[in-house]
Amino acid sequence: GGHNGIDIAAPAGEPVRAAAPGKVVFAGDEPKTYGTLVVIKHAGGWHSAYGHLSATSVTVGQQVSTGDVVGKVGQTGAAHQPALHFELRKDNFPIDPATKIAGSPAP
């Protein structure tokens, strides 16, 4: 299976925050790959996905703002260690998040 997006190693239980304002369109389990997953629909055909979560703190239909906590880092789905799977899609096409994240990667 394809793996679009990036996995960011992070301590289990760390809060996961929305990358941009939008509406939650999925919050639940996708056990095969992403585990506990939140997907947010943003303006302009963009979606962001947050996977391998240990818990979600949002519900489908909820409006979120940039920085709102959507869940907690976990090790669900195909994760081999606690990590956040972060994915961006534009009009349902995967976009490499590394090209869209401002600033430099964490050490």
d(CA 58, CA 37): 11
pTM for the full model?
A: 0.87
Contact 24, 38 (CB under 8 A): yes
CATH topology (fold) of 6-89: Glucose Permease (Domain IIA) (2.70.70)
What does the pLDDT profile of the chain (107 residues) look like in tens digits? 455 788 999 999 999 999 999 999 999 998 788 999 999 999 999 999 999 999 999 999 999 999 999 999 999 999 999 999 999 999 988 887 776 655 444 44
CA distance 40 to 51: 12
> What is the spatial distance between Cα 24 and Cα 38, in angstroms, rounded to a whole number?
7
Q: Apex CA 11: angle with CA 9 and CA 17, to 5°?
A: 80
